[in-house]
A and B are shown apart, each in its own frame.
Chain A
Amino acid sequence: GAGVSQSPSNKVTEKGKDVELRCDPISGHTALYWYRQSLGQGLEFLIYFQGNSAPDKSGLPSDRFSAERTGGSVSTLTIQRTQQEDSAVYLCASSPGGGGGRNEQFFGPGTRLTVL
């Protein structure tokens, strides 16, 4: 079956503009995660969704970052007033419900964001 897909694969934007990154999880997966991969910070957790709700937003770096999930499926990560330090690869992952931390997270190919 289809894996996790993300769009766009690459996004170049100017400082101060807003961007939206999209994630399509594996069908039936109730958990959805966003991570950020950057040279200076490595792989860091941003937010996760259980269904359409986000119990843990602890990793969002500032209030310029927000995310939503609709219909228990597609998720959008929005970055407002982008800054150069937002440049990174944004990875989305999904996993089946339940089972706690033992469940494998399936990752998408990522969106490479470059802020000029």
Chain B
Amino acid sequence: AQSVTQLGSHVSVSEGALVLLRCNYSSSVPPYLFWYVQYPNQGLQLLLKYTSAATLVKGINGFEAEFKKSETSFHLTKPSAHMSDAAEYFCAVSDPWGTGFQKLVFGTGTRLLVSP
């Protein structure tokens, strides 16, 4: 069964510092990978996704992630944190085959705290 592991339930950074949120996946074949963000009392919003094209994926709000098969990782980064980035971030995986509909399997989430 597929799974994702997010290291660190909380990550604290200063405004302007590098953001690095870690995600490792477990799958027999390279899956599709997603990063979602959740602001308080809101649903999930897609930041970016990897679907077997370019390994470096750029998303919204200045975030990017790199798919590394050798490390089974899909870490999320942003060069300079902004106060508005404070939220919870979820890494998710889905199966890469077929044309049907695929559920997402989520990690446990990482809460990003940004201090002035």
- A residues in contact (CB < 8 Å) with B: 4, 31, 33, 35, 42-45, 48, 50, 55-56, 59, 91, 93, 95, 97-102, 104-110
Judge whether B96 and A100 touch: CB under 8 Å.
yes
Inter-chain contacts of B51 with A (CB < 8 A) = 101-102
Q: List 9 A-B contacts (CB under 8 A).
A: A45-B105, A95-B101, A100-B95, A101-B51, A102-B94, A102-B96, A104-B49, A105-B104, A109-B41
**Most chain A CB atoms below 10 A, which of B36, B104, B105:** B104
* Residues in B lying within 8 Å of A, measured CB to CB: 31-32, 34, 36, 41-46, 49, 51, 90, 92, 94-109
- Across the A-B interface, give the 10 residue pairs with the lowest CB-CB distance, nearest first: A101-B94, A101-B102, A107-B43, A43-B106, A102-B51, A107-B44, A45-B103, A31-B101, A101-B32, A109-B43
Q: Are B45 and A42 in contact (CB under 8 A)?
A: no
Cβ A101 vs Cβ B95 within 8 A: yes
Indicate whether A101 sits within 8 Å of B31 (C-beta atoms), given known contacts A50-B101, A91-B44: yes
Contact, CB under 8 Å: B46 / A42: no
Q: B99 contacts which chain A residues (CB < 8 A)?
A: 98-100
The answer on a CB contact under 8 Å between A43 and B49 is no
Q: Are A43 and B109 in contact (CB under 8 A)?
A: yes
Q: Is the CB of A110 within 8 A of B108?
A: no
Q: In whole angstroms, how far apart are the Cα atoms of A39 and B72 in the complex?
A: 27
Across the interface, which residues of A come within 8 angstroms of B36, CB to CB? 107
Q: Could you say which residues of chain B place their CB within 8 Å of the CB of A93?
A: 43-44
B109, closest chain A residue (CB): A42
Chain B's closest residue to A44 (CB) is B106
Which residues of A sit under 8 angstroms from B92, Cβ to Cβ?
43
Contacts of A105 in B (CB 8 A): 46, 104
**Closest chain A residue, CB of each to CB of B32:** A101
- Given A42-B106, A43-B109, A45-B103, A101 and B45 touching (CB < 8 A)? no
Give complex CA distance A98, B49 in Å. Answer: 17
Q: Which residue of B lies closest to A50 (CB)?
A: B101
Residues of B contacting A100 in the complex (Cβ-Cβ under 8 angstroms): 94-102
A107 CB contact (under 8 Å) in B45, B49, B97, B100: B45
